[in-house]
Chain A
């Protein structure tokens, strides 16, 4: 078994004329919390989307736990994302008409779990993230920080192997962002979830075990990570 659960090898990806990635390589260890940093437009989100099998690279390879992801068919990749990965983005992207609890249970319902079982599994997550009082609130009525916590619960409820987070605190103030990061790190450590965290905020990156800096579509492993 490889030390790495997730790898991008020399990944290139263009959008029309824009070369977003030009040979990015990154390897994520099992259970590691890795931050991807770098200036705006450097290709961080594109790299995350390639690692998560959302975008397919034009060139290069993506591997997850011994499986080559970039050559999988669309159906297989969708399954992989649904079963093995969890996602949190800058804006929670909850379904505003549904309650917080519904939102958390949603991935389980979509995976065809029986209703009762899905809700039984979802409820403790609200408690874990300090949201027990908000379970029956419509998610459109939650504050930004509460919504991000619901999004985190939803991303973790099916016990993914890898959590992908793209600027998860980008829309929050410092203190609320810290609460969310604390919960994210604590939950990930408890569950042994590997985390890929895109952020341009160094205070957020400091929650990770290690950082990779993306510049002009290439990932630079910094000296500290070489030591780690």
Chain B
């Protein structure tokens, strides 16, 4: 999960910070439409404190949970820096939902082509939303939207190609099924 690391990264900017301000900064830069619940901010900070990656300061007068400022420790800082220097596994997404659904649909004699058409439409709908954000938003929004757009585009190219190969794929799946049947 990137939430703890992102919060650590926000603290690595230097100033000890209230949970509330961390949440606000997180939401404005990283939430991407999904604001971080307060509960998660405090539970995450709690775990980071337990693991020695942040320290909570003295409780300040007043009420509510938000009376502490949190500061990053050396351990926390080296964890963030280590994370930033690692590349993300360039894993193929093929094994996931799309592929399973197509193959299962073929196995079960369901409408795989119809599924792919519907999925294309859903992908395009999302691309349209992101394109509109790009057209009307700030550069930062455009960068995020672009990331999503390129990934959706990759999925869509796979969807196109799979649509075109569906007959061949159906043959393979049905041959496999037959072999299985013979063995049983």
A interface with B by C-beta (< 8 Å) = 39, 182, 185-186, 202-203, 205-209, 211, 213, 220, 222-225
Contact = CB atoms under 8 A, between A and B. Distances in A.
A39 B124 CA distance: 16
A206 B130 CA distance: 9
A206 B117 contact: no
B135 interface: yes
A213 B121 CA distance: 10
A207 B117 contact: no
A185 B135 contact: yes
Given A220-B117, A223-B117, A224-B122, A206 B160 contact: no
A222 B153 contact: no
Contact of A205 (B118, B124, B164): B124
Interface string B102-137: 000000000000000110111111011011000100
A225 B121 contact: yes
Interface of B: 117-118, 120-125, 127-128, 130-131, 135, 149, 152-153, 156-157, 160, 164
Nearest to B135: A182
Given A39-B164, A222-B117, A223-B117, A206 B122 contact: no
B18 to A, nearest CB: 40
Contacts of A223: 117-118, 121
A209 B160 CA distance: 20
Contacts of A224: 121-122, 124-125
Main SS class of interface, B? helix
B161 to A, nearest CB: 10
Contacts of A206: 124, 127-128, 130-131, 149
Contacts of B153: 202-203
Contacts of B125: 224
The 4 A-B pairs at the shortest CB distance, nearest first, are namely: A224-B121, A206-B127, A222-B121, A206-B131
A39 B122 CA distance: 19
7 contacts: A39-B164, A182-B135, A206-B130, A207-B128, A208-B128, A222-B117, A222-B124
Nearest to B157: A202
A139 B3 CA distance: 52
A211 B124 contact: yes
Contacts of A213: 117, 120
A47 to B, nearest CB: 18
A202 B122 CA distance: 12
Nearest to B130: A206
Given A202-B124, A202-B156, A207 B131 contact: yes
